[in-house]
Amino acid sequence: MITLRRKVYMTAGFNTVSMGSGRKEFHPKKPRPGLEDYIKEAGKGTLSKIGGARNVDEGVIGNFMAARFNNQGNLAALIPSIDEGLKWKPCTRVEGACCSGGLALASGIKSILAETAEVVLALGVEVQNTVKAVYGADILSTAGWRKDRKAGHAHYFPGKFSDRAGAYYAKHGRDKTRSAMARWYRNAIENARLCPTAQEHQNNQKDLDAMGMTEPNPRSFVEHLSVYDCSKVSDGASAIAIMSEEGLKRAGIAKSDAVEVVGFGQVEADLTVPPEDPTRLETTARAVEAALRSAGIRASDLGTVETHDCFTIAGVLATEAIGLAKPGEGPDFVLAGETSRAGKVPFNTTGGLVGWGHPTGATGVHQAVTLWEQLTGKAGSAQIKLSPERPYGLSINMGGDDKTVVAIVYRKAA
């Protein structure tokens, strides 16, 4: 069990717009911000809230595939481009596929715990709309076992989670599961409409349930998922400051404007081995178990969750992996409205990956920013009301097909 040897806080979160299809300002043939623009925007957004770069001891950035999408490596050396005051400070780039942002958070937390830093600027970024979708799918497939690529679907990760959905249908029933996935989609879009930076913020479709129930077409896509079950290709960045108590004092941040990290779990599975049970997110379950144990709480203490719903079936499976629903009962939990913003445990209150977007390297940091906003009352139109009996937030960032997972438990600092 991970025991936190000193208090760790997060504050001053910032998200850029999650850019891609669905945003009115997005056009694939028109110039758009580049990798460095997103890094600067997110970084400056956080620095402006903590008294500037002088208060930062180190930087860490999560990114998956800039070397392929943007022909750019060595992203740690882009952190000083945010502000002259970051020059000569130690910076690191971390990568764990779609969990790269979560790994950036874990790296910053560990630096605070190790007392090698009092303030860490943590960022996540991805700019993916630089290649055609078919090429992008091939790039993203490297988050899986490459030797499995030729035997897999043309749409590699939609295929992987389609297989999981098919296995779940066979084990627990198709109709109810599809209905729950459609409800997940509806919740995601409704929440995204409340968040100005979300990719689906401007989605004005009236019958979201009908869209979510669109029948999969294996001739044009995959067997068990439609395009509405999938997160979209996204560009964007997020940043947040990770601090010790001394760091909060240095930056002049009141604890009321911060969240405390009370536990976390980081788990890795073997990339070369397929899941033993495709109806279960075992790595996620182990990471969450470790995070809850580290925090000294139970799943029933959670008031809100940001989970890695790269596909709607992943969201349904997450309710079971966390322990909020028993195996096979995740669809019931979702259909009962328990994951909606008015439910027992609101999930993905700004839209999650399906609604807010999935700039892969930024997703884990975006989850932390959302929880910081919710727990400190800074979420604006997306704000939910948290019960005093369930004051904790949980983030789950997944890389690959449930291979790399970081789970973090937060509560409002006191």
Packing angle of the helix pair 156-172, 312-322 (nearest 10 deg): 60
pLDDT tens track for 347-364: 999 999 999 999 999 999
- The one-letter amino acid at 407: A
Mean pLDDT of 81-86: 98
Greater model confidence, 341 or 146 = 341
Mean pLDDT of 338-350: 98
- The one-letter amino acid at 146: R
Instruction: Tell me the C-alpha to C-alpha distance, in Å, between residue 394 and each of 236, 237, 292, 345.
Output: 22, 20, 9, 10
pLDDT tens track for 174-212: 999 999 999 999 999 999 999 999 999 999 999 999 999
pLDDT reported for residue 5 = 86
pLDDT higher than 70, residue 152: no
Please state, for a pLDDT cut of 70, what percent of the chain lies above it.
99
pLDDT reported for residue 53 = 98
Q: What is the pLDDT of the chain when averaged over all its residues?
A: 96
pLDDT higher than 90, residue 400: yes
pLDDT reported for residue 29 = 87
pLDDT band at 37 (very low <50, low <70, confident <90, very high): very high
pLDDT reported for residue 1 = 63
pLDDT tens track for 216-238: 999 999 999 999 999 999 999 99
What count of residues does the chain have?
Answer: 414
Angle at alpha carbon of residue 251, lines to 104 and 6, rounded to 5°: 60
Q: Where are the domains of the chain?
A: 8-132+233-258, 141-229+262-412
Instruction: Tell me the C-alpha to C-alpha distance, in Å, between residue 407 and each of 189, 261, 333, 349, 372.
Output: 24, 11, 21, 17, 15
pLDDT reported for residue 112 = 98
How is domain 141-229+262-412 classified at the architecture level of CATH?
3-Layer(aba) Sandwich (3.40)
pLDDT higher than 80, residue 28: yes
Q: Which of 313, 315, 324 is nearest to 392 (CA)?
A: 324
pLDDT reported for residue 137 = 87
pLDDT tens track for 245-299: 999 999 999 999 999 999 999 999 999 999 999 999 999 999 999 999 999 999 9
**Single pTM value for the model:** 0.97
pLDDT band at 148 (very low <50, low <70, confident <90, very high): confident
Q: Which two tokens stand for residue 89?
A: 């400070």
Q: Right CATH number for 8-132+233-258 from 3.40.47.10, 3.30.70.920, 3.20.20.70, 3.40.50.920?
A: 3.40.47.10
One fold for both 8-132+233-258 and 141-229+262-412?
yes
- The one-letter amino acid at 88: W
pLDDT higher than 90, residue 154: no
HEC string of the chain equals CCCCCCCEEEEEEEECCCECCCCCCCCCCCCCCCHHHHHHHHHHHHHCCCCCHHHCCEEEEECCCHHHHCCCCCHHHHHHHCCHHHCCCCEEEECECECHHHHHHHHHHHHHHCCCCCEEEEEEEEECCCCCHHHHHHHHHHHCCHHHCCCCCCCHHHHHHHHHHHHHHHHHCHHHHHHHHHHHHHHHHHHHCCCCCCCCCCCCCCCHHHHHCCCCCCCCCCCCCCHHHECCECEEEEEEEEECHHHHHHHCCCHHHEEEEEEEEEEECCCCCCCCCCCCCHHHHHHHHHHHHHHCCCHHHEEEEECCCCEHHHHHHHHHHHCCCCCCCHHHHHHCCCCCCCCCCCECCCCHHHHCCECHHHHHHHHHHHHHHHHHCCCHHHCCCCCCCCCEEEEEEEECCCCEEEEEEEEECC
pLDDT reported for residue 3 = 77
pLDDT higher than 70, residue 111: yes
pLDDT tens track for 274-289: 999 999 999 999 999 9
pLDDT reported for residue 67 = 98
pLDDT higher than 70, residue 303: yes
